[in-house]
Amino acid sequence: MERVYFNANSRKQEAEWKEKAIKELEEWYARQDEQLQKTKANNRAAEEAFVNDIDESSPGTEWERVARLCDFNPKSSKQAKDVSRMRSVLISLKQAPLVH
């Protein structure tokens, strides 16, 4: 069986690497926590806006709400499917809603 001997330099280098790794992990966790807090705040704001929008809805504005949720700019869409027909239907319903 072969024995591996570590000299003082390799132990010192290993200790430095461990220190550096611990420091980088702490920084990573801090960034992750900060990002998580930002995401939570954004989600709370979006939820509040959504709930307020639902509460303020009045009859006849359904297609306005649908239109706000849809991206009607065909150039910015990165979807592989062709949704131009659906887009045109939604736009026509927004402009002239069905009357029941």
- Predicted local distance difference test score (pLDDT) of residue 27: 97
Round to whole Å and give the CA distance between 25 and 97.
55
Is the per-residue pLDDT at 7 higher than 70? yes
Tell me what the mean pLDDT of segment 10-28 comes to.
Answer: 94
Over the stretch 48-67, which tens digit does the pLDDT of each residue have?
988 887 776 666 677 777 77
- pLDDT of res. 28: 96
What's the distance, CA 45 to chain centroid? 14
Query: Residues 63, 48, 73, 86: what is their CA dihedral angle, to the nearest 10 degrees?
Result: -40
Q: What pLDDT shows up at residue 10?
A: 87
d(CA 23, CA 35): 18
Give the CA distances from residue 1 to residues 4, 7, 28, in Å, rounded to whole numbers and listed in that order: 10, 19, 40
Retrieve residue 40's tokens: 């939570």
* pLDDT-based confidence at residue 4 (cuts at 50, 70, 90): low
